[in-house]
Amino acid sequence: MEKKSLDYYLSLNYPFKIESLSEEDGGGYFITYPDLPGCMSDGETVEEAISMGEDARKAWIETRYEKSLEIPEPFTVNNKYNGRITVRTPKSLHRQLIEEAKEEGVSLNQYLVYILSKGIKNNYKEF
The pLDDT value recorded for residue 120 is 72
Letter for the amino acid at 8?
Y
Instruction: Provide the residue ranges of all domains of the chain, joining segments of one domain with +.
Output: 6-77, 81-121
Separation of alpha carbons 94 and 111, rounded Å? 12
Do 14 and 75 meet the contact criterion of CB atoms below 8 Å apart? no
Separation of alpha carbons 110 and 104, rounded Å? 10
Task: Please identify every stretch of the chain with a pLDDT value under 50, giving residue numbers as ranges.
Answer: 77, 127
The pLDDT value recorded for residue 125 is 56
Total-model pTM: 0.59
- In CATH, the number for domain 6-77 is 3.30.160.250
Please give the torsion angle defined by the CA atoms of residues 42, 15, 12 and 63, in that order, rounded to the nearest 10 degrees: 40
The pLDDT value recorded for residue 1 is 67
